[in-house]
Amino acid sequence: MVFRIKALLIALLLLATGLAATAAEARTSHAFGFDALRYLDQAQDGDQFNLSWQMSTGRRSALVFGVADGDNYQMYEAGFKRYNERYLSGSFYQLGASYWNGDTGYKNDFGLDLRVGYEIPITRWAVVSGAISTLYGIDTPQNKDSYSLVFRPHMSLLIHF
């Protein structure tokens, strides 16, 4: 089942890449993303396959939705991203909520997510994003307490169209 979900997400990412390569414009309003650091870092639930989507709500803001699937838990995220410069370029901060659906040691829990980062376009249709997020309200086997803060790094590639 997990393999099918990963295969479907990879297919959607490849489709988005193809669409972006043929129809990218300066006034993009949607972006699909993949957090490579979350996938490669074994400390984040073995390896978490993830995919995110964001939609601009103005010249300097966006709504962000994401899903991640790992060995012990799944995570669903939603947030509001505000850029200090312009959409998909420059520094940003993001405030959102996440729901963790876990198996061993991870309670099914809602958490608050605060993210600060920077995005830089590398082509007309691709953006590299780096960020650090702070989670509050999540019980994990590492922190044993929902009142502790959990810090997570992010390094993403966004395909926009």
Mean per-residue pLDDT over the chain, rounded: 80
DSSP state of 86: B
Contacts of 157 (CB under 8 A, 6+ apart): 33, 34, 36, 126, 127, 128, 129
Q: Give me the mean pLDDT over the 89-96 stretch.
A: 95
Q: Give me the mean pLDDT over the 95-102 stretch.
A: 89
The reported pTM is: 0.76
Q: What is the Cα–Cα distance from 160 to 16, expressed in whole angstroms? A: 8
Q: What is the Cα–Cα distance from 32 to 90, expressed in whole angstroms? A: 18
What is residue 64's predicted lDDT score, i.e. its pLDDT?
A: 96
User: Do residues 120 and 99 touch, judged by C-beta distance below 8 A?
Assistant: no
Q: What is the Cα–Cα distance from 92 to 86, expressed in whole angstroms? A: 9
Q: Read off the pLDDT of residues 2-49 as tens digits, 9 standing for 90 and up.
A: 445 554 455 545 445 444 443 443 455 799 999 888 888 766 666 678
Q: Give me the mean pLDDT over the 104-128 stretch.
A: 87
What is residue 46's predicted lDDT score, i.e. its pLDDT?
A: 62
Beta-strand relationship, 149-160 and 73-83? unpaired
Q: What is the Cα–Cα distance from 90 to 15, expressed in whole angstroms? A: 26
For the chain, domains (ranges, CATH) are 2-160 (2.40.160)
Q: Give me the mean pLDDT over the 61-84 stretch.
A: 91
Q: What is the Cα–Cα distance from 157 to 8, expressed in whole angstroms? A: 18
Q: Give me the mean pLDDT over the 91-110 stretch.
A: 82
